[in-house]
A and B are shown apart, each in its own frame.
Chain A
Amino acid sequence: MRKVSLLLITLFFFFIMTACTTDGKEIDDQVYALILGLDKGVDNKIRLTIQYPTYKGGGGMQKSEGGGEDKKSGQIDNTVVTTIEASSILEGINLLNTVTSRRISLVHLKKVVFSEYIARQGIKNYLEPLARFREIRRITQIAVCRGSAEDFINENKTLIGESISKSMELMTSQSQNTGYFPKTPFETFYKGILSPYGQAYSTYVGINDFKHLKPLSEATAPLRTEYPILPGEIPRTGDLARETIGTAVFDGDRMVGSLNSYETRYFMMVSGGFEKGIFTLEDRSMPGSAIPFDVRLGRKPKVKVTFNNGVPIIDVNLNIEADIGAIQSRIPYEKLERIDELNDLIADIIQNGIKKTIEKTQKEWNTDIFSFGYQAAKHFFTIQEFEKYNWLRHYKEAKVNVSVQANVRRTGLMTESAPVRYSNQDVLSEEK
């Protein structure tokens, strides 16, 4: 009896020991793709680019001059970038294993980049495996790249530290500091594509060729506020060529257009994702001089949708708080009787901007990326009625009322600036 039990137990353990190794994989038996780029293939459906960190010690050893890249071997800053053409995403990754020597794991994928070309063709075929495959999680960021995704990934480097993954995570979190681009985890994006309440949108990225920064000249420059920038157009040099700014707008799974930096801010204000950002406004009393504000939402935006004779009316009610960053004209707007001038200035400009942005989405593309549909759905009792009405179709008919209240709360470290004294001017600081 005892011997038989022993035999059974041994057999059981033997079975376990031989069968167990299928799922367990050592950490260093795999490489962890951090970013996945998707382009239209030439010979096959998909051109797939991935980037994964190498396990070479310390760093320093492989660094070449400049951007530290060695295109031939695919080495960029302690990472490897490879591109392959394949019939589907998953098989492409499988195919890459033939050269990578280690299993490519997607569990740490941080970002999926679609080229604008395939985004405009429609990307539901690409999303399907991403949504279904267990290794890809829905917190992966989705971005659309102006130009090809392959180029973007080749420029995906870090100059500050050694960790690409950290720099990518922190890049995403810059959305909170600037409001220039929205965060779009796969979950939100995918929900937008399926949702009857609204449409999908995604981060817009691109590569800067550094040609937008013109050489220095003597001519006086105008003050250009609400500067409409799209990725690749920021006038700058230095740092890396990649940049993240703006929003790609989708109708269903097809990209239809894009919002520039300021439109993105207005869009995020209405949808509630805006945290803070510096707005530079032109001083009405002294054109040409600017007043930068640190702007944030005072409370969550209030959106209401009503129907008047079958015509939807969208009321957007915003409460904006701002801190003064500077008053270049040194006009004492902080005074109680003048503070409203600033409030009105901010409210006017933001109200206008929001109105225009919403109008743009209605007129140009008829895509409700603001998800006003959630409010509209309150007026329907059953899903059948709502789906029959099809909010997404009727979005363009909606009348939009935007009201913005702005409040300048704080003035920074100083208040009521003292005037600047010139040798040829008399300045009396005594108040009249």
Chain B
Amino acid sequence: MRKKKTLFQNLLSYITYKEKEPIKEFYIPEINEKESSQDQGNIPDHTNKGHERNRGIIKPVPVAEMRKEKTAGQNQASDNTVSTNIQQNMDYINQKFNAPDNKDIIIRQFTIAKRYKAFIAYLDGMVDRVTINHFILAALMENDDKFTNGDESCQLEFILLNVLQTNQAKKLDTPRDVIYEILSGNTVLYVDGCDYYLVNETKGYDKRGVETPQVEGVVLGSQEAFNETLRTNITLIRKYIKNSNLTTEFIRVGIENQQLCAVLSINGLTNPAIVDEVKRRIKSIKSDAILGDGMLEQFIEDNPFSLVPTMLTTERPDRTASHLLEGKVAILVEGAPFCKIVPISLVSLIHSPEDAFMRWPYGTLLRFVRVFAIAISTLLPGLYVALTKFHQEMVPTDLLIAIAKAKENVPFPTVVEVILMELSFELIREAGIRIPGIIGNTLGIIGALILGQAAVQANIVSPVLIIVVAVTGLGNFAIPNYSLALSVRLARFFFIFLGALLGFYGITIGLALIWVSLFNIKSFGVPYFSPVAPKTSRSADLFIRYPVWNQEYRPDYVNALRKKRQTKISRKWTQQNPENNYDREESDDEGR
């Protein structure tokens, strides 16, 4: 009885009025150029507060560490202060890295100028041995004659300035940061009597070279892709943007794995509110481990339940650069060969980096092909089901009879056929990725062909359906964004279901539902359908790609600090007279 009452109450709760506390949403304020030059870098109040508040959150002391802190309390070296005793510091590091159980941490003791006790510490394998051997150890142990003053006080300052031959070296006086540096593959140097460490850049772990893009291949355009090293990736971007205002900010995410995450933006161009919002969201993450950009995306996206991605994933530095120059923000994570770009709208997902490199008619054509591909790969199987189940009148009579003839021996209803074929196609795609090496690619195609042929001969599906499924698959591959392609694959099943249920009516209802859900999505304050709906100013780079010299404005929705990309007449030469023109005088040529 009681349960029934709760059920009733539950039902009642659906139809009774409940006031809810609205959640405040982020939006991108418009900032005038003048204002921004005055308070550049000034962040709006509310985000500032978040900033402050979150500062405590990013460096929390994990429970495990707190325990250790207590045991380390006997020594003077703690998480906050560096002991002046070399032994205590060594013990601290050893204990932090669980030596001697942990064999990765190497502490090498030696004396400098035969007087000063010192040690370096690093993680085996993470460092470049040559640098340590030749430019740290050799420099410190062979330059006895440089140490002339005989002073017993801390020599690190002197060593930093005169002895060490590494390109990057800095002082660090918080042991926690020291540990982090060691973890990142740097070498720390400590000399007895000092209360700080020297950190030398010696990252030397194995990494992949810069290779060609795997997901976003293009014909005309650069063939470089990001790799797993954050540094390399940022360098690749800097190659395209030689601008001192390109700012990289590092944030560590993940309590246990402390992954480094870079937020790139162009100072004075990108709306600072976006940068702050991105930083606010990343900093506020309280999670054990963030292993790559894909995980980070799920933690910071606006609508976790949306079907479509609200961040643009790219593995191309040139594409990243072009978006940065539009006033967007790029997020890179150490260890992931992809970059996330925010904010975006739906149209940027159907753009390909190639578009801008080609002359505008070709670029426009390709875009229309892609829009068509999305439409086909979302709707075609659903439409086929709807057509054959509800709207037979639309099929040309001869084709209809041909389909009926082919279907005569097929025992399944059309929906089952479609779902069967779609599922096998999905299988082939998924298997194609797993099957090792060269076989994988060929098997995908051959598998599809053979499977289709065999299925038709075995009277399991009708031949027209094979064409439908094949075209759908092709359309799916033509979608430039992998995440979008995945969401389209999902939506396709939704439409098959609706088409089987209510025909075109169902499909229209489904389309409307998806549209409505898309209207409700925002990507970092930007409505997903902008600039189509809401209608902002006309865009020169929407579906029809205007000539590059015609694209005078940055996308309206990012509210960049400088709206204009180029002057009204960017091709100044069209207004100038060429030196050699047809109108010149005969005599002009004399003397040449």
Residues of A within 8 A of B (CB): 1, 4, 16, 20, 23-28, 30, 32, 34, 53, 55-57, 105, 107-108, 110, 135, 137, 163, 165-166, 169
Instruction: Give the complex CA separation of A56 and B408 in angstroms.
Output: 8
Q: A108-B400, A165-B398 are in contact. Are A4 and B7 (CB under 8 A)?
A: yes
B500 and A166 contact, CB distance less than 8 A: no
* Interface residue from A24, A56, A165 paired with B503 (Cβ < 8 Å): A24
Q: What are 7 sample pairs from A and B whose C-beta atoms fall under 8 A apart?
A: A1-B10, A4-B7, A27-B392, A28-B407, A32-B401, A53-B401, A110-B397
B390 and A23 contact, CB distance less than 8 A: yes
Instruction: Give the complex CA separation of A65 and B431 in angstroms.
Output: 54
A27 and B397 contact, CB distance less than 8 A: no
B501 and A32 contact, CB distance less than 8 A: no
A163 and B7 contact, CB distance less than 8 A: no
Please tell me if B44 contacts chain A, counting CB pairs below 8 Å.
Answer: no
Residues of A contacting B389 in the complex (Cβ-Cβ under 8 angstroms): 24-26
B400 and A24 contact, CB distance less than 8 A: no
A32 and B400 contact, CB distance less than 8 A: yes
Instruction: Give the complex CA separation of A40 and B276 in angstroms.
Output: 85
A20 and B408 contact, CB distance less than 8 A: no
* Interface residue from A27, A53, A108, A110 paired with B403 (Cβ < 8 Å): A27
Instruction: Give the complex CA separation of A137 and B502 in angstroms.
Output: 21
Q: Least Cβ distance of B394 to chain A in Å?
A: 9
Residues of B contacting A166 in the complex (Cβ-Cβ under 8 angstroms): 397-398
Please tell me if B577 contacts chain A, counting CB pairs below 8 Å.
Answer: no
Residues of B contacting A16 in the complex (Cβ-Cβ under 8 angstroms): 501
Q: A26-B388, A28-B407, A165-B398 are in contact. Are A20 and B501 (CB under 8 A)?
A: yes
Please tell me if B13 contacts chain A, counting CB pairs below 8 Å.
Answer: yes
Within 8 A of A (CB), among B378-402: 388-390, 392-393, 395, 397-398, 400-401
Instruction: Give the complex CA separation of A55 and B407 in angstroms.
Output: 9
Q: A1-B13, A24-B503 are in contact. Are A165 and B392 (CB under 8 A)?
A: no
A26 and B400 contact, CB distance less than 8 A: no
Instruction: Give the complex CA separation of A135 and B393 in angstroms.
Output: 9
Residues of B contacting A137 in the complex (Cβ-Cβ under 8 angstroms): 393
Contact with A along B475-508 (1 / 0, CB 8 A): 0000000000000000000000000111100000
B397 and A32 contact, CB distance less than 8 A: yes
Q: How many chain B residues touch the partner (CB < 8 A)?
A: 25
Q: Which residue of A lies closest to B464 (CB)?
A: A27
Residues of A contacting B413 in the complex (Cβ-Cβ under 8 angstroms): 26
B501 and A55 contact, CB distance less than 8 A: no
Residues of B contacting A32 in the complex (Cβ-Cβ under 8 angstroms): 392, 397, 400-401
A107 and B7 contact, CB distance less than 8 A: no
Please tell me if B414 contacts chain A, counting CB pairs below 8 Å.
Answer: yes
Q: Which residue of B lies closest to A52 (CB)?
A: B401
Q: Which residue of B lies closest to A165 (CB)?
A: B397
Residues of B contacting A108 in the complex (Cβ-Cβ under 8 angstroms): 392-393, 397, 400
Residues of A contacting B390 in the complex (Cβ-Cβ under 8 angstroms): 23-25
Q: Least Cβ distance of B418 to chain A in Å?
A: 12
Q: Least Cβ distance of A88 to chain B in Å?
A: 23
Q: A4-B11, A108-B393, A137-B393 are in contact. Are A27 and B398 (CB under 8 A)?
A: no
Residues of A contacting B403 in the complex (Cβ-Cβ under 8 angstroms): 27
Residues of A contacting B405 in the complex (Cβ-Cβ under 8 angstroms): 55-57
Q: Shortest 3 CB-CB distances between A and B: which pairs? A: A107-B393, A24-B389, A165-B397
Residues of B contacting A57 in the complex (Cβ-Cβ under 8 angstroms): 405, 408
B501 and A27 contact, CB distance less than 8 A: no
Q: Least Cβ distance of B393 to chain A in Å?
A: 4
Please tell me if B458 contacts chain A, counting CB pairs below 8 Å.
Answer: no
A20 and B392 contact, CB distance less than 8 A: no
Q: A20-B502, A27-B392, A165-B398 given. 6 additional CB < 8 A pairs?
A: A23-B390, A24-B500, A56-B408, A105-B392, A107-B393, A108-B400
Q: Which residue of B lies closest to A135 (CB)?
A: B393
Q: Which residue of A lies closest to B410 (CB)?
A: A28
* Interface residue from A20, A25, A34 paired with B397 (Cβ < 8 Å): A34
Q: Which residue of B lies closest to A107 (CB)?
A: B393
Residues of B contacting A30 in the complex (Cβ-Cβ under 8 angstroms): 392
Within 8 A of A (CB), among B53-89: none
